[in-house]
Structure 1
């Protein structure tokens, strides 16, 4: 029931009364006016355009998102790749200092996570996001001028601030253009491009490692090249990416109406710009949001450790710096393949998101146990176990999808997204600081922490799935099967999932 599409028999108009729909004070959704125009066309006309509209959206929106995610993740990995060369001695980052340079990015992310989500709600999302890309590209180029510990700390903090917007902005865009059943695959595809970034970054780091210049160090060259790539892409993003289906230049007016009609079945509307305090409080007290935030915390701990210390791990297994960079190439391929497979499964098999989230935690958990127990003499086995840690993108994206499909009310969803990213950033801070240099190459404290995180995610995903299943059954018993037309009205009125009687959760 949770993923049933909006079905209206041929010739039947949406049941929303036009006068009431336009006059109600609460109706501020940016897609509401276009949805009123649905009645100008027969159901046959609209259905005939749905596949064309989806194909156009896929050919424009998805490449933009995938490329944005690739270059953004390159930014995050740049420190890891730079660390394979002379970054640490050149800037005096020995001992705990490198850990704090890795962590300070997440303090910036943590600081800006909630404000970013509220700005995304209030501002044109593509213009805001493109501006953030432009600003962080300039910051990356400024890394070249860093001379000491204090300088690199300041730059990484600001970089974290500006990058805090990207993931919630992309989640917002996906929810505006895709139906519930379409979202898992698309979200997994774009996050899989983190794997593409890992492959590109590993090749880039390896190639730039062979560049010898008396004027610029290898680590400086890495930051400069990635920064310039981001700078160019910022202008492309600002030119091409629409702020909503209502303003998509690549769609005709009729196709924009069809695009709004398609996502109306999500029962969350398109977007409202007004902040509602009651919805923010509801998000803070929501059991689902708490569960997903705890999953975000666990994912953050794992990501903070793996993304910043994989080079250190591999070097500890007996590989030189330049090969430690090259050996991260397969991790990108693993991520690029596994994450879309999870998306296909979650989209094809109804109500399996929580189950798949729990199951996908098991391979990297086994990898962590392998790193802890395998003799150092079997260094290729240890490298293989390290590669498995890059599957962490799958639980990240599945938890995002659970947020976008199960939280209604725009202020509530902005708050819930902000809470998730606050917990995720806090986890990244912790993850970057549990790898103690004295414990190299095993890092026993870090491995224990990561193992606990994966076990916790398995349990929380199971609890969340059962809770949402029980809540759906309770609502069916009280209100009967959900009514799509009424649910669509609630979505355009910015009613929350807790208040909407016809809303059902996608497990």
Structure 2
């Protein structure tokens, strides 16, 4: 459906939205401080203060959220399979059932994030999955593992959508890229730390407790501790941040209001679900996420087995896999730096990182039937594959910066994370036991998926460029004059979708 057919004019939502629509949290501060001018330097100072208070805990949270997903990939290098009696494709099912729980919980998770305090929902989610990780120590069979993995998926379902929402509470659209990439880069950083931790704990062999259980104990305890700290120190949004002065809260609210996406509303607006469904952006993003997560589902749980299949022992596998995480974390920071400095690189961040990933997977595939192929050369090619990890946080920034309306954003998250779950569920089953150790079928499918993702993200970019030009022709170019608050900012503070806000323009 063409966007020109679904964008109403400002008159459609009321000439005076303050009288016809319910305002967001922080609206009183927004109105009271409209005449308050602040400089670019003051804005940057507030952003730095937010970084110092928020980012350390956010990074710890998201890093642990990632390693708690992939923890089985380390445990399987030890006696995990034997101790639980896993045979055939039971490990694949144990890997995938996490995402069944993740999928089943998406609607309730996003509903809770919208209707209640985002910060508190995230904290309770962390505490819950930390307890579930520790309970893996008491697991002795396949049935128990399936149950724990399913409920782990339910508990972790709030993390990524909650972080998209929480980041948008605090930062401008331009700032969100670097902050999203910073906490997303913790996947690579904590994968390195987790691998080293597993390497050390894996050498514990003088007790009656299997070494893999120590991995679950330590990482589970860290998650519980992080949840407690988050509950104590992390506020909901700028308007109630105690670490900011009254003047700083006013500036922080004005900064976020300028995104034309509001701050926080607790109302669930069902009409915005329809806006989500009929928006072409939604389906570009859903298809991109599905085809990028098919490779992710397999590589997350079978990556260590692929590396060991190149000819490395179990402890060597933990160590030689570390540069792969350096590639993902480093690529995120590099792309974030470019995207912050130059406009129009968000969608390129969904395309560019796939090029080295395709080169790496092609090299691994091309040498799969060559016995004389150097294992170190193939390992370097495998490291390059992980550059695709950059595309996920860039996809999240598209949601955080281009989807307005709190319920619409929540509904978009539901659909995206359903696709996320479906891809991760299916991915491990392409790594068939009969294909080990080369896994040629899985590598072929990964290569095809990466190519499809390039075409999809290019289509999304073209669509948003055309939509922006159409809006400029219909409503005129949006210009902000000094001392004047554009209508689009006020509309955004009344929880309208970008399809309802004539001043809204997509960032590419």
TM-score range, shorter chain: over 0.9
Find the partner of 1:237 among 216, 230, 233: 230
Structure 2 residue 259 is the aligned partner of structure 1 residue 228: no
Q: Which residue of 2 aligns with 1:52?
A: 45
Structure 2 residue 408 is the aligned partner of structure 1 residue 412: yes
C-alpha distance after superposition, 1:3-34 (max 9, x if no partner)? xxxxxxxxxxxxxxxx9565x24223112111
Instruction: Report SS of the residue matched to 1:359.
Output: coil
Structure 2 residue 436 is the aligned partner of structure 1 residue 457: no
Instruction: Report SS of the residue matched to 1:108.
Output: helix
CA distance in 1 between partners of 2:222 and 2:298 (Å): 26
Distance 1:114 1:81, change over 3 A: same
How big is the shift at 1:379?
1.0
Q: Which residue of 1 aligns with 2:491?
A: 490
1:87-166 aligned within 5 A: 87-166=80-159
Find the partner of 2:241 among 241, 248, 255: 248
CA distance in 1 between partners of 2:248 and 2:40 (Å): 11
TM-score by length of 1: 0.93
How big is the shift at 1:352?
1.9
Q: Given that residues 57 and 226 in structure 2 are in contact (C-alpha distance below 8 angstroms), is that contact kept between their aligned partners in structure 1?
A: no
Q: Given that residues 365 and 451 in structure 1 are in contact (C-alpha distance below 8 angstroms), is that contact kept between their aligned partners in structure 2?
A: yes
- Structure 1: 4+ residue segments shifted above 6 A: none
Q: Which residue of 2 aligns with 1:381?
A: 377
Q: Given that residues 17 and 491 in structure 2 are in contact (C-alpha distance below 8 angstroms), is that contact kept between their aligned partners in structure 1?
A: no
CA distance in 2 between partners of 1:233 and 1:376 (Å): 47
Find the partner of 1:260 among 235, 253, 264: 253
Q: Which residue of 1 aligns with 2:21?
A: 26
Instruction: Report SS of the residue matched to 1:502.
Output: coil
C-alpha distance after superposition, 1:81-121 (max 9, x if no partner)? 00111111111222211000000011111111222112111
Instruction: Report SS of the residue matched to 2:127.
Output: helix
How big is the shift at 1:339?
0.6
Distance 1:31 1:215, change over 3 A: same
Q: Given that residues 482 and 501 in structure 1 are in contact (C-alpha distance below 8 angstroms), is that contact kept between their aligned partners in structure 2?
A: no
Structure 2 residue 327 is the aligned partner of structure 1 residue 334: yes
CA distance in 2 between partners of 1:389 and 1:160 (Å): 25
Instruction: Report SS of the residue matched to 1:39.
Output: coil
Structure 2 residue 201 is the aligned partner of structure 1 residue 208: yes
CA distance in 2 between partners of 1:143 and 1:389 (Å): 30
Structure 2 residue 297 is the aligned partner of structure 1 residue 304: yes
CA distance in 2 between partners of 1:339 and 1:376 (Å): 34
Q: Given that residues 310 and 386 in structure 1 are in contact (C-alpha distance below 8 angstroms), is that contact kept between their aligned partners in structure 2?
A: no
> Unaligned 5+ residue runs, structure 1?
1-18
Q: Given that residues 77 and 201 in structure 1 are in contact (C-alpha distance below 8 angstroms), is that contact kept between their aligned partners in structure 2?
A: no
Q: Which moved more, 1:320-329 or 1:374-383?
A: 374-383
Q: Which residue of 1 aligns with 2:54?
A: 61
CA distance in 2 between partners of 1:116 and 1:290 (Å): 21
How big is the shift at 1:39?
3.4
Q: Which residue of 1 aligns with 2:483?
A: none
Q: Which residue of 1 aligns with 2:501?
A: 500
Instruction: Report SS of the residue matched to 1:228.
Output: helix
C-alpha distance after superposition, 1:314-353 (max 9, x if no partner)? 1111111121122222122222211111111122211121
CA distance in 1 between partners of 2:35 and 2:351 (Å): 45
Q: Which residue of 2 aligns with 1:37?
A: 32
CA distance in 2 between partners of 1:39 and 1:174 (Å): 23
CA distance in 2 between partners of 1:149 and 1:444 (Å): 28
